[in-house]
Structure 1
Amino acid sequence: MKKFRYIVCLLSLATLSSCDSILDKGPLDAFTNDNFWTGEGNVSGYANTFYEQFLGYGNAGGSGDFYFNSLSDDQVGRDFDQYPNNKGVPSSSTTWRNGWIEVRRANIMIEKVSQMTTLDDAARNHWLGVARLMRAWQYYKLVRMYGNVQWVEKSLDITDEGVLYGARDDRDMVMDRVLDDLNFATQNVKDVASKTTWNRSMANAMKAEVCLYEGTFRKYRKSEDSQKAPDGAGATKFLTACKEACAAVMAKGYSLNTSYQGNYNSIDLSKNPEMILYKAYKEGLLMHSLIAYICSSTQISGMSKNAFESYLFTDGKPLALTALNKTDKAPMVDGHLSLKDILAVRDKRLSQTIDGVLLYNGRGYTRYNVGMESTASSGYGICKYDNPAIPEGFRNNTTKNYTHAPLFWLSVVYLNYAEACAELGAITNDDLNKSINLLKDRAGLPRITTAIGFSDPANNHGVSDLIWEIRRERRCELMFDNNVRYWDLVRWHQLDKLDNSKNPDILRGANVANDMSGCKADKVGEYIDGSKASIRAYDKKYYLYPIPSGQIALNPQLAPNNPGWE
């Protein structure tokens, strides 16, 4: 009985949370789960709750999906970041709990919309597509964190004990079901031009992300970290699905925005030709805190030396091979170490991502000459999301930033397309020219062909020169975005690259040789050291998060826990 009471409470919370924004339109006793599903307006309102899963830049004082996730080789955090699941087995997890709440929310919608007689076939299939899209999205996030999970395709109640207390299903089977959901969604969600609501291009962009993850995860996995051997056929299936989804979006008339930074610091993305779906913020209504965090008097997280060195030079060559001036020793100009000349010979995205001077303890810096003085943990401050047009009182206020956030946009589709083609082993120069070479044009870099023409000594992933350069392009284009880098390392099975005992440059920062006396930050030689004298040691068990112990107590069939967490 104790288990049943727990489930009743959990499912009741899920139902109420899914209907809050709709129920406030009428008396609380006006609707039940049976009489609510009468018209398309109610269905639309119910589906709107799914948007809450897309955090963008966050809501009010909360953190969002950009910049704040500093565990990667791209950022040096103001605090030391350990592997996120290194603290042992938790008794509970909001990620685990909320994932299942959202799965149930989607299943309720699938069941009820299927039974509605007031919808025509197109409307019914559209809303079923939305619900199946969001069920797929939740399972994608659950599987990449926990591996094997139960596949549930009905809204469970306490009579469904066989499912509630069943064993976990194989993660490959679950992801095959996810692909079924994604295929249905991309065929049935309405093909409309809106950039703020459900549309087919959004569904295809989501499908591409999920399928690229799954295809590369299966291709590169190893039995020692995944308990399963590589799956070539499965990898090909998902990578092909990714390529097809990307091609569908690329045929829709989207185009790159002329400004790379304009995708991130705009107060209006409605006319941005690159946007597929964005999150709109509005002064006084819905605001965020991102800009306030990157121009704060509290030390901010900065770009790592490793990330800085990943950007190509304007001759198209990496640090080890360029013929251009490769120094990172910034000269002192007007009281600050200036990056002007250093950035001038690099990928244009770098100068639109970090400040033009170094800012660190002992040498604070005020961006745009307004607001507060900032320092960065690596010396490389992050300007990518800032906008000087926003008044100081709003830029520096932790609840009053109102720049719009991209959620799904064309450059990501280009990156996904090129990588899927390359991983399938059938990429052509035409594929490159209609995808990442367009990004290189915007970045002021030479285009590439399938014959790269050089081998970067920094390639430590054990992949071809072409795939290494495609991965580099992804890293630089999406720097600090959506926690992309962490999950990229997981799907490529390169999570050991976050071990700073073996890769010390991931927690080092800028060269401050020309201000050794003025720099008050910790240093290793000429470079800022952001390691906090700590070690982040890799363990193969970190590829999966542990199932919360409280869930195993409720359902012993979830045992044994994930490998290394038993």
Structure 2
Amino acid sequence: MARLCRALQYYGLIKNYGSAPWYSAPIATDDEEALYKTQDSRSLVVDSVMADLQYACDYMQEGSSRTRVTRYAALGYMARIALHEGTFRKYHEEISELAGTANSFLEKAVWATDEIMSSGQFEITGKGAAAYRDLFTNPDLSKNKEIILFSDYDKDLNRKNNTSTVLNWQWNLSRSLADSYLKSDGTPITEADRTKTFVDMFTDRDPRMAETIMYPGFINEGDNSTLPTKIVLDYGGLGQIKFLPRTDATYGGWGENITDLPIIRYAEILLINAEAKAELGILTQNDLNATVNLLRSRVEMPEMTINVPIDPALEALYPSVSGALKNVILEIRRERRVELACEGFRYDDTMRWAAGSIYERPFEGVYLPGFGVYDCTGDGVPDVALFKSPNDKMGYTDEELKELSVYYTEDENGAPKQIYLSEGDKGNIRFYSDTDEDANKFIAPKYYYYPLSKDELVLNPNLKQPIGW
């Protein structure tokens, strides 16, 4: 367990800074040579991390607990790290001297996931949207066979979480995520679909979309509400409901919720297996059927085929992908995004894929065909309004607007407020804070790493800033 924890700690440093001083034994307080040494090479640190992970996988007990770290959890962590390192070395030109070693890590990711998959201990559970939802709203995941490791919350033990804040607490989800969900026939959305308004955009889509993004007419029953929740245009209009407690029994308010939270689940293992094999160029249709298609089958979506056409939208997001299995790699990245949405993987994924240019794109929310009033709860009655300014309410009276949530793109003096429409008088919600192109420019490879603080450099002047800093 100690070596597993050391591996996780050190690989966190690698992800943030690219390298770190490696210590394999305790340091004496007067050992200045060790205390003040510079970073070791990425190769040395990562090889040491992998050795720690292998030790944990070899010697930890299998066990049946899902709240204690077992051999299967260690294998899961190894798979995560091996996939991250393999793809990072493959796609990052600033460490091109390590590109030739990428496959060894991808092969280790395949080995670790194969060990879990062949154990017979885990499976994709349930059928339909409700089964997917249950993974993130259940007060007891202890018997769910998809769960490898989870955090247990319990009212009697006074272990509680704050998951109720996922809905409209200072953020919403992106239109980019929403557009990633396939249509129910298994095809990507079209340009016409991208101009659908909030009420229409959920029609005939992958069921996971409406289990992640708040859909029209959603009633937050856990909060004792009987009315549909209105969208918040100032946040973009696409509220998160994945992880939101759905019942009084699990929804206790601020810091008082008792839904269990997955840490490692079998779906991630299957996606790692598929991605690693695709990156190695060895993925087959049988592999897809044993991994990605189990996830699609649960929510009754059409299967992915090895000959899936390339979606130009994915190709534009990830221009560095190439090779005979380019089409499948792109589609696996889509599947990973929608299946694992809001579970804390997206930023690391874009970093390891060297896809930082994604963050130069303005954050977008719902599409509106123009200023005016809209029904966004789906009951036929307007509930939100967007006007250019309080001076121009398009003829609507205050009495007509009193029951609506009203938003403006400018104040009474014409100064920008928070949001605007991407095409001036129509388009997707965007944010004025994203309009500074220089501030939003992603500088590669610099921004793939964090800088060391001045305090750290003063404490140890032998440390060097990461690449680009």
Question: Into which bin does the TM-score normalised by the smaller protein fall?
Answer: 0.7 to 0.9
The superposition leaves residues 379-417 of structure 1 with CA deviations (integer Å, 9 ceiling, x where unpaired) of 1111111232235xx736212011000011100001100
Match of 1:235 in 2: 102
Alignment of 1:156 with 2:27, yes or no, is yes
Q: CA deviation at 1:167?
A: 1.3
Alignment of 1:281 with 2:142, yes or no, is no
Q: CA deviation at 1:287?
A: 0.7
Q: 1:380 pairs with 238, 241, 256, which one?
A: 238
Alignment of 1:493 with 2:390, yes or no, is no
The superposition leaves residues 176-228 of structure 1 with CA deviations (integer Å, 9 ceiling, x where unpaired) of 111111111111101111111121100000000000000000011112xxxx2
Q: 1:220 to 1:384 in 2, by over 3 A?
A: same
Match of 2:4 in 1: 133
CA distance in 1, matches of 2:265, 2:34: 38
CA distance in 2, matches of 1:167, 1:231: 20
Amino acid at match of 1:279: S
Q: CA deviation at 1:355?
A: 1.6
Unaligned runs of 5+ in 1: 1-129, 331-336, 359-364
Q: CA deviation at 1:515?
A: 6.7
Match of 2:463 in 1: 558
Q: CA deviation at 1:131?
A: 1.1
Q: 1:375 to 1:446 in 2, by over 3 A?
A: closer
Q: CA deviation at 1:273?
A: 1.0
Within 5 Å, give how 1:50-89 maps onto structure 2.
Answer: none
Alignment of 1:345 with 2:204, yes or no, is yes
CA distance in 1, matches of 2:194, 2:90: 38
CA RMSD of aligned residues (A): 2.2
Q: What is the aligned residue count?
A: 403
Alignment of 1:367 with 2:234, yes or no, is no
Match of 1:22 in 2: none
Alignment of 1:245 with 2:120, yes or no, is no
Q: CA deviation at 1:375?
A: 4.5
CA distance in 2, matches of 1:458, 1:437: 19
Q: 1:328 to 1:145 in 2, by over 3 A?
A: same
Q: 1:390 to 1:190 in 2, by over 3 A?
A: same
Amino acid at match of 1:528: I
The runs of at least 4 consecutive aligned structure 1 residues that moved more than 4 Å come to 371-375
CA distance in 2, matches of 1:343, 1:257: 24
Q: 1:447 pairs with 303, 312, 332, which one?
A: 303
Asked whether the 8 Å contact 1:257–1:263 carries over to 2, the reply is no
Asked whether the 8 Å contact 2:163–2:245 carries over to 1, the reply is no
Q: 2:429 pairs with 528, 535, 539, which one?
A: 528
Alignment of 1:400 with 2:256, yes or no, is yes
Give secondary structure in 1 for the equivalent of 2:183. Answer: coil
Q: TM-score, normalised by structure 1?
A: 0.68
Q: 1:513 pairs with 358, 369, 381, which one?
A: 369
Match of 1:66 in 2: none
Amino acid at match of 1:346: R
Q: TM-score, normalised by structure 2?
A: 0.81
Asked whether the 8 Å contact 2:172–2:237 carries over to 1, the reply is yes
Q: 1:547 pairs with 446, 452, 462, which one?
A: 452
Which sits farther off after the overlay, 530-539 or 136-145? Answer: 530-539
Asked whether the 8 Å contact 1:411–1:439 carries over to 2, the reply is yes
Give secondary structure in 2 for the equivalent of 1:303. Answer: coil
Match of 1:168 in 2: 39
Match of 2:266 in 1: 410
Alignment of 1:185 with 2:56, yes or no, is yes
Amino acid at match of 1:551: E
Unaligned runs of 5+ in 2: 374-384, 387-406, 409-418
Match of 1:316 in 2: 186
Q: CA deviation at 1:301?
A: 1.4
Q: Sequence identity of aligned pairs in percent?
A: 30
Q: CA deviation at 1:367?
A: 2.4
